Chains A and B, each alone.
Chain A
Amino acid sequence: MGQNAATTAFAPWNDPDANPLIRFENVTKRFGDFTAVNNLNLTVYEREFFALLGASGCGKTTLLRMLAGFETPTSGHILLDGQHINGVPPNKRAVNMMFQSYALFPHLSVWDNIAFGLRRTKMEKDEIGDRVQEMLRLTQLEPFGRRKPHQLSGGQRQRVALARSLAKAPKLLLLDEPLAALDKKLRQETQFELMDIQEKTGTTFVIVTHDQEEAMTVASRVAVMNKGNLLQVATPGEIYEGPNSVYVADFIGEVNIIEGTAKIVGPDELAIQYSENAPPIHAKIETEGFSDGQSVSYAIRPEKIGVSLTQDDPRPNKVKGTVIDIAYLGSTSTYHVRLDCGQMFSAQMTNVRRIEHREITWEDTVWLSWSNSAGLVLVK
């Protein structure tokens, strides 16, 4: 499927001939008056690790539950491998789900939990045993087969849940906040394990998460949702560097946003006037679609801004401000600077010198500078 796209990178979404594994066609889901998912179109391709990202209540879990078969769309169609699956019950779908609570059967051992789904099929006893053993090996749970779920640590339980949902070799694995219950360090380790397992098994994963860092780490593509709408679907890099709205920019990572009016000052160059007393910010950008006097938001990531006590920085955008706060994070420091117009800006600098040699301190007057191409101009 789509293998004829002779690209080295895995990007079936750029291949017009590729057949998607999942296709949402104008899917809407309402609960009473509440619209959880609003007229949504989305395609997910085979072998993808697809992340649905959004704040709680944005509709991402509803989307996942519709794929699993626990909810039926109010209108629209969902296709899995070209087949309509709207009315197909969960037990008849080649889709398995890993639950946020893990939902391990407390009365069954790890072994029996993993074998549970296989026993519902016509599989031979020996084959079931082999398959369970394979799953235990894959998730490094071999010594724990005889234990009951309550005798395991949180991380082990998470792996049992993963092994159980993968045992039937589903076409599609759904993961509902799979790492939310783990502590930070274990979560980071597990993210890489998940990616590793996804690659080994070749299963398509759809993961729901509210943690943007997690989504960026594991996913081939990320979909940002808000209030039942898909705001942007793109690779982690694209979504970080090129968010299509203020909401997405703000949701993914840290960003400084400043409002102003646009003026086209040259081919592919906009000037954004944000304050009467300061020179405008210049942005190298496709000017098509912008007009003079249009109100826009300018977004710039903190790590793209340099902080200096002098005006010597060659970068064209320069803004004067006062250091209000410095957050020392070890490898980097974040400077919170109040611009002369009153707006707060964050700038992140790598700590190339030892802390005792740091030149900039509280209440210093500093110059923030960044290049023309570092920021983005957003309309919504």
Chain B
Amino acid sequence: MNLRRLLIVIVPYAWLVGLFLIPFLIILKISLSDTAIAIPPYTPTLDLSAGWAGIKEFFSELDLENYYFLWTDSLYWKSFVSSITIATISTFLTLLVGFPIAYAMARAPSAWRPTLMMLVILPFWTSFLIRVYSWMGILSTNGFLNNFLMWTGLIDSPFHILNTPTAVYIGIVYTYLPFMILPIYSTLEKMDISLLEAAEDLGCTSRSAFWLVTVPLARYGIIAGCFLVFIPVNGEFVIPSLLGGSRINMIGKVLWDEFFNNRDWPVASAVAIILLLILVVPIVLFQRVQQKQEEATV
């Protein structure tokens, strides 16, 4: 009996330790190392054959040099700031687009809802990369959107959208929209319509009932949706590379460049560790909100 219990407890912990904690410690260790022209491309490596002295030697060679480098070179902190700014703005834009969609879905006749839900999830069935690529085709100067607008006669010369921040925002809002819609939808769907009637009965207009009842009741969904967009967008790499051109610097792109172009694994690891530390705050907040929501529904 006890053994079975132990086994049940051990499996998820083993998973977390093996696939999260150990890789994290490896990255942390690399970030404290120096680059080297070797395989793997950093020193020191742990040499257990040298015994206790080898371990001592190994730890003495680790230092915070890479973090100091990130601090002094403005490229890195500018990329961090740019990432957080882009993530914040695009989270707001996604909320702006996602909330009305979620609201319309939750108020749709219940027979339609599964279909609408399906339509929201459907894009996930095609490759993310292909979907972002197709936006290149739509947004480029000679692309579908410009051709269409010029054909309708609305514009004379094509918009320059691709390789601008606008294209990045379009790509992010499009890609992350389901993560915003689904949590908001699930809170709005549970809402009792008679609450809105009660608000109107007590003197609200339908607009004030929306702000005083609907929005506060959807707040856990809104917060969850915002975190689900904000956290991954911070590390986003594909969308800024494909749609943003060279002028958009996001930290995910810097990370890629360090790993694959510079082959500077220690600096890249340091960037990854800093990114993680920045995201720990919203992740912890997100979990607290989720916990609160669970308490409220009990």
Contact = CB atoms under 8 A, between A and B. Distances in A.
Interface residues of B, number: 20
Interface string A131-162: 00000000000000000001000000000000
Contacts of B201: 68-69, 90-91, 95-97, 165
A168 interface: yes
Interface in A57-110: 68-70, 89-91, 95-97, 99-101, 103, 105-107
A331 interface: no
B273 interface: no
Interface of A: 68-70, 89-91, 95-97, 99-101, 103, 105-107, 116-117, 120-121, 150, 164-165, 168
A103 B197 contact: yes
Interface string B172-210: 000000000000000000001011011111111100100
B170 interface: no
A103 B192 contact: yes
Contact of A90 (B194, B200, B212): B200
Contacts of B70: none
A97 B198 contact: yes
B214 to A, nearest CB: 11
Contacts of A105: 195, 198-199, 213, 216-217
Given A99-B194, A101-B192, A105-B213, A89 B200 contact: yes
A80 to B, nearest CB: 14
B284 interface: no
Contacts of B213: 105
A116 B201 CA distance: 11
B37 interface: no
Contacts of A89: 200
Contacts of A168: 202-203
A103 B200 contact: no
A116 B197 contact: no
B6 interface: no
A243 to B, nearest CB: 34
Which among B202, B216, B217, B296 has the greatest number of chain A C-beta atoms within 10 A?
Answer: B202
A164 B201 CA distance: 11
Given A103-B197, A103-B198, A91 B296 contact: no
Contacts of A103: 192, 194-195, 197-198
8 residue pairs, one from A and one from B, having the closest CB atoms: A120-B203, A117-B202, A103-B198, A103-B194, A90-B200, A107-B216, A91-B203, A99-B194
- From A68, A69, A91, A97, residue with most partner B Cβ within 10 Å: A91
Contacts of B198: 97, 99, 103, 105
Contact of B197 (A95, A99, A117, A164): A99
A135 B2 CA distance: 56
Contact of A107 (B197, B202, B205, B217): B217
Interface string B108-139: 00000000000000000000000000000000
Contact of A106 (B199, B204, B208, B296): B296
B202 A164 contact: yes
Contacts of A99: 194, 197-198
B30 to A, nearest CB: 47
Contacts of B199: 105, 116
B197 to A, nearest CB: 6
B194 A101 contact: yes
A124 B205 CA distance: 20
B118 to A, nearest CB: 29
Given A103-B198, A106-B217, 10 more contacts: A70-B197, A90-B200, A91-B203, A99-B198, A100-B194, A101-B192, A103-B195, A107-B217, A116-B202, A164-B202
Nearest to A161: B198
B294 to A, nearest CB: 12
A100 B200 CA distance: 16
B204 A120 contact: yes
Contacts of B192: 101, 103
B197 A91 contact: no
Nearest to A107: B216
B205 A91 contact: yes
Contacts of B197: 68, 70, 90, 97, 99, 103
Nearest to B198: A103
B24 to A, nearest CB: 38
B216 A121 contact: no
B34 to A, nearest CB: 54
Nearest to B217: A107
